[in-house]
Structure 1
Amino acid sequence: MLSTLTSRAGRVLAFSVFVILGLIWYTSSFKYYDAASAPTTFYAGNGYNKSHPIDALMDTAETDLDELLTTESQDLATAAERYRARRGRHPPPGFAEWFEFAKDKDSLVIEDFFDQIYHDLTPYWALEPKELRRQAKSIPTRISIRNKKAILNTDEPRNWMDSWHDLVSKLEGRLPDLDMPINVMDETRLVVPWETVNEYVLKEQAGRTMPNANHVISEYMSLTQLDQEIAEAYDPEFAIPPEGGYWQMAKLGCPPGSPARNNTLPMIDFGTPPWEFDNFERMSYHGYVGNFTLAKDPCVRPEMQVLHGTFLEPISVSTSNKLLPLFGGSKLPMNNEILLPPAMYWAQNEHYSGGEKEHGGEWEDKMNKAVWRGAATGGRAREPNWTGFQRHRFMSMVNATSVQQAEQNNSHGINFRLPNYADYKLNGDGFVTQLLEQHTDTGFNHLVCTPYNEADPTCPYLDPYFQLAEGMPMKKMYNYKYLPDLDGNSFSGRFRGFMLSTSLPIKATIYNEWHDSRLVPWVHFVPMDTTYIDFYGIMAYFLGGRDSVARKIALAGKAWSEKVLRREDMQIYTYRLLLEYARICDDRREYLGYTNDILGS
């Protein structure tokens, strides 16, 4: 069964097994296949063979999707029954109205789609409602609901707050009183030690109840009178990283016994590139992403501390190790924010969408190339640490000249290592460089030098390695068949636009978003590892006589996104999230619920 996202309780169990059994958990958690029994002969740059690992990955992913669709709830009674079976509680008050809202908007009501909400909110049941309300009101950037009206609170104009306020305002007449603090930084801000989160989750599980339907309360409390109470402001104790950087803070959110907690890489000399790519090769399915959730989790990928700008030197870090309500658009698997649909997705901004109506033309009319344009973001890329940054690595790996030089230098470039071509059944003798020359169009339009100068796109320590390319609006990118999507300072705000296009997204990330349990890798998009060591194999697969397969995924992803990633779906997700959040912050939360379906029967 599809497990793109597990519940927090599921992660606790899985990681507890990992603590006990060590590498047994590590090697048995990979989802798809036994490599020993899998097919191994496939495209070698000069022919076509149906026995390719990607074929197997696609077959299993399609089965996962078929199984997922069988769990759709067509009526309120079924939705409530599936809620209780999965969550161990009555649905929250307002659930009937939420279901009607979702069905009126022609939404697929599949309980798995909302797993992220419970993954995020479960630990908060361990905190007292009064304390949660105090914490929430202490954050200056927040949206409040009072008497069915959404109120924007901010200490100064902040990026994207207006968009989030607009999203919530569309729902304000349906929502109870609440205060939702929002993280306005690119980077995530909460890393609660795993041991603390585990304690909170166990406390929630021990206290989980489903009271008699006759005793359930169906109305949320009002916060208007409580606003008059004077409470001491809560101090989240946001702090900057200690010596050792953000990795030292972030890995505390990983379970004991995990590779991240057990592994400390030696001091890295960035004059010699880091080659920690072996971990992905071990966990992959014949060199390709088999379990996207696992592949993008730094807890099992400690090499990310030297292969991703988030851990090398993020633009800004202000992190707390306390659990407090804080909403945001993305987070790392070890972070504790409550995920919302990102403001970039809600805002009708052509820079991130290409335009609400501009999704690209017919597949057959597109250029048979992968295209990428953007700035060299990801953090403060300095001399010499830039060789560990993800976007810089990708740009080097898709540059034919850099690859040709690496082929002559024991497969090493200044900031990357080439895969073993034999593992991907790729021909040598210039095949990869020819593929890149003929089928890629990529480049930075700004090198984002440190110190940063917006007016100057050049950078003295990066200029020898990267030639600037002219910028390209997203709607022009849709003229190309293949759209690699990479992390920047955090998640990529382009992904929803790419998914809604008629082109094929190739997604690499270490960040989680609200929609992760709605999308099936290898059916709706192509997953790629953040080392990008699988990129050549992915492109060779589709270019080797499988254009129709690429078209199938691209159009299936578009059609599916038009069902589950619409603006209406962002409203439906936010609506349900805030009903659940308001219940947790209510003094009578153990008795709040929806039970009319039971009482009626």
Structure 2
Amino acid sequence: MMQNRILTPRHIVRVVIAFVFLTVITQLWYYGPPHALRYPTTGAANGAHPIDYLIKQARQSQDDLLAKQTHDLKSSAEAYRKRRGRHPPPGFDKWFEYAQKNNAIIVEDFFDQIYHDLNPFWGLPAKHTRQQAKQLPFRISLRNHEMQEFMDDSNWMKIWVGMVEELKDLLPDLDMPMNVMDEPRMIVPWEDINSYVKAEHAARSLAAPQHVIQELSPLDVDGNEGKKFEIEFIEKGQYWDTARVACAPDAPSRSVPAVSNSSGPPPYCTGKTSENCKPDASVWLSYNGYVSNWTKVKDPCLQPELRESHGSFIEPLSQSSTRSLIPLFGGSKLPMNNDILIPPAMYWAKKSLYATGDTHGAEWESKAPRVAWRGGATGGKHHKDNWTRFQRHRFISVMNGTQVREAQADENREAPNFQLQPYQHYLGTAGQNMDLAGWLDAIADVGFVDLLCYPKNEDHSCPYLDPYFKLVKGIPLENMYDFKYLPDIDGNSFSGRYLAFLRSASLPIKATIYSEWHDSRLMPWLHFVPMHNSFVDIYGILKYFIGDVKDNGQGQLKTKHGHDKEAKTLALAGQDWANKVLRNEDMLIYVMRLLLEFARICDDKRESMGFVGDLE
């Protein structure tokens, strides 16, 4: 018979210590180190590289997504009701017929962005939104399937009008105000949006079919009457402070003010708790140092450091934002913006700087195992006191062998716009002693074609940038497809070349804080390679895919220890997928669905309105 043991204070202390130790170990295993930046370990399970694991997970996620595909009107309407909590909008049957006629892959999840954008408008009276849409300038209007005259003759507006005109015979009457600026316009406080979304959830219902109205009301029911709206726009001040009110109260960025000094390299989060690094909240969800949650890594509300490292928050090229929820459509936005997304004009345009048709360069094996990037020094209004914080400038610097070599030569010398030390963690044990600068010289062909100095110089020179950047000759977009790796970096807003890169059969490596209409359709680590906005992971990404390099003496690179096969698989998968779900037809299918939903939101009878033809 065992005797009862009395727990002494010493025993209690030992038990507590053991419990704490096991808890910490468990947390580290599950979450990783409590840093906003989790550096890679030696590998994932069974010694595999972390990217191997992320690619495998992406394939499984894609399979799970495609398992939801619907093939007929009834199953598509059922999927809608299950995901949205109400009946589809009037005209859903015509929408499905149009999508099916154009061989679309129909997965209800593909349209999540529409509901993220439109749901808050259920919290406002239909008449309010309807009348605002009619009064706002730069709008596309449709009456009795005929396009009305529009108020702006900019190229973007003409292109968007042409897009909607393709659908005019299938759409109800509508007024569609457009944002013709590069930058998004709406920043509604989080508390207001939360209230509107709660109202939307409360309004959800699946009424019996006999009680559902299946036809929209006349749009011009108000005649010329109605409230005249005066909308206040914020055009001055620190954009970060304007924007962070749209973050949730407990989000890391909500209480962090804009900085007053934007000189020197941006601070990185390396594990110390500070305004830039809050271990409990601003984790960008990496797997051993590589992006694993693409949605969160793009969200400035989770990363206060972006206020000091992205031109959109340092000094945007232009600023005109409202904190009112107004119906305004545009091509891109930040996660905290409330603009309604549509395909960007430059994606739709048949002739533009980024339209290269079916051109995709050489076959993969004939493409150079190198990195190509060309562009202007955009990203906002940079000048001598803030240029070191801009994302494109930083990317060019970290990819420049000369600048890296200078940073390595003197550990005490700080590069003007980047910190080198964190990158070494990505090169592995063998890479710690590699000639990093020489490796970059061999694999990178990146540079600015215009420095876009402020104030502007006619000869394209720039006194504060000239010591660090030398202009390079441009490369036509179709010639860039002869390179295997194509990084894509934000400019003044989103990058207009992204769709062309996806279609190119080269491998896009994407860093952004902007949302676009197609985000729910693309799978990171399957259709493109995601990259952190600090570019801290770029060396590890390229080392994984390209490996070691050596000139064969004939101006050609020989590579070894890389993962060229995996790179080819991703590049071709991205191209194939873009040709299936990012076609012009898919843009029209998205816009038609969006405008049917918007028309219902503007109808006073919207809560009793829907499509129930499949239930009759």
Give the TM-score taking structure 1 as reference length.
0.89
Indicate the SS of the match to 2:445: strand
Indicate the SS of the match to 1:484: strand
| Displacement of 1:281 | 7.6
Match of 2:267 among 269, 275, 288: 275
Residues 181-221 of structure 1: CA deviation (Å, up to 9, x unaligned)? 01000001100000000011111111222221001111112
Q: How does 1:358-369 map to 2 (within 5 A)?
A: 358-369=359-370
Q: Aligned pairs, how many?
A: 559
Indicate the SS of the match to 1:422: helix
Aligned match of 1:559: 576
| Displacement of 1:248 | 0.3
List runs of 5+ in structure 2 lacking aligned partners. Answer: 1-25, 271-276, 548-561
- How many angstroms apart in 1 are the aligned matches of 2:388 and 2:246? 26
Change (3 A) 1:39 1:392: closer
- How many angstroms apart in 2 are the aligned matches of 1:344 and 1:350? 7
| Displacement of 1:347 | 0.5
Match of 1:256 among 242, 249, 266: 249
| Displacement of 1:429 | 3.8
Match of 1:246, as an amino acid? Answer: Y
1:438 equivalenced with 2:442 (yes/no): yes
Match of 2:295 among 281, 293, 310: 293
Aligned match of 2:188: 192
Change (3 A) 1:594 1:281: closer
- Whether the aligned pair in 2 keeps the contact of 1:397 and 1:403 (CA below 8 Å) is yes
- Whether the aligned pair in 1 keeps the contact of 2:334 and 2:514 (CA below 8 Å) is yes
- How many angstroms apart in 2 are the aligned matches of 1:166 and 1:341? 12
- How many angstroms apart in 2 are the aligned matches of 1:431 and 1:248? 42
Residues 488-517 of structure 1: CA deviation (Å, up to 9, x unaligned)? 000000000000011000000000000001
- How many angstroms apart in 2 are the aligned matches of 1:317 and 1:112? 33
Change (3 A) 1:134 1:380: same
Aligned match of 2:453: 449
- How many angstroms apart in 2 are the aligned matches of 1:339 and 1:33? 36
Aligned match of 2:67: 70
- How many angstroms apart in 2 are the aligned matches of 1:211 and 1:422? 57
- Whether the aligned pair in 1 keeps the contact of 2:241 and 2:257 (CA below 8 Å) is no
- How many angstroms apart in 2 are the aligned matches of 1:205 and 1:348? 40
- How many angstroms apart in 2 are the aligned matches of 1:441 and 1:556? 25
Match of 2:344, as an amino acid? Answer: P
Aligned match of 2:615: 598
Aligned match of 2:41: 40
Aligned match of 2:206: 210
Indicate the SS of the match to 1:133: helix
Indicate the SS of the match to 1:153: coil
Change (3 A) 1:478 1:549: same
- How many angstroms apart in 1 are the aligned matches of 2:269 and 2:534? 7
List runs of 5+ in structure 1 lacking aligned partners. Answer: 1-27, 44-48
1:149 equivalenced with 2:153 (yes/no): no
Change (3 A) 1:147 1:290: same
Aligned match of 1:247: 240
Change (3 A) 1:409 1:298: farther
Q: Tell which deviates more after alignment, 326-335 or 132-141.
A: 132-141
Aligned match of 2:522: 519
Match of 2:488 among 482, 485, 489: 485
Indicate the SS of the match to 2:442: helix
- Whether the aligned pair in 1 keeps the contact of 2:341 and 2:516 (CA below 8 Å) is yes
Match of 1:183, as an amino acid? Answer: N
- Whether the aligned pair in 2 keeps the contact of 1:330 and 1:342 (CA below 8 Å) is yes
- How many angstroms apart in 2 are the aligned matches of 1:129 and 1:192? 18
Indicate the SS of the match to 1:421: helix
Match of 1:257, as an amino acid? Answer: D
Change (3 A) 1:191 1:486: same
| Displacement of 1:523 | 0.4
Change (3 A) 1:584 1:263: same
Change (3 A) 1:234 1:417: same
- Whether the aligned pair in 2 keeps the contact of 1:478 and 1:503 (CA below 8 Å) is yes
Match of 2:187, as an amino acid? Answer: V
% same residue: 50
Give the TM-score taking structure 2 as reference length.
0.87
- How many angstroms apart in 1 are the aligned matches of 2:575 and 2:72? 26
- How many angstroms apart in 1 are the aligned matches of 2:201 and 2:284? 35
- How many angstroms apart in 2 are the aligned matches of 1:463 and 1:336? 38
1:509 equivalenced with 2:512 (yes/no): yes
Aligned match of 1:318: 320
* Structure of larger gyration radius: 2
Q: Which runs of 4+ in 1 moved over 4 A?
A: 36-39, 279-282
Q: How does 1:2-81 map to 2 (within 5 A)?
A: 34-35=31-32, 40-41=41-42, 51-81=48-78
Match of 1:343 among 342, 345, 352: 345
Match of 1:73, as an amino acid? Answer: T
- How many angstroms apart in 2 are the aligned matches of 1:498 and 1:513? 15
1:134 equivalenced with 2:137 (yes/no): no
Change (3 A) 1:34 1:485: same
- Whether the aligned pair in 2 keeps the contact of 1:286 and 1:423 (CA below 8 Å) is no
Change (3 A) 1:282 1:130: closer
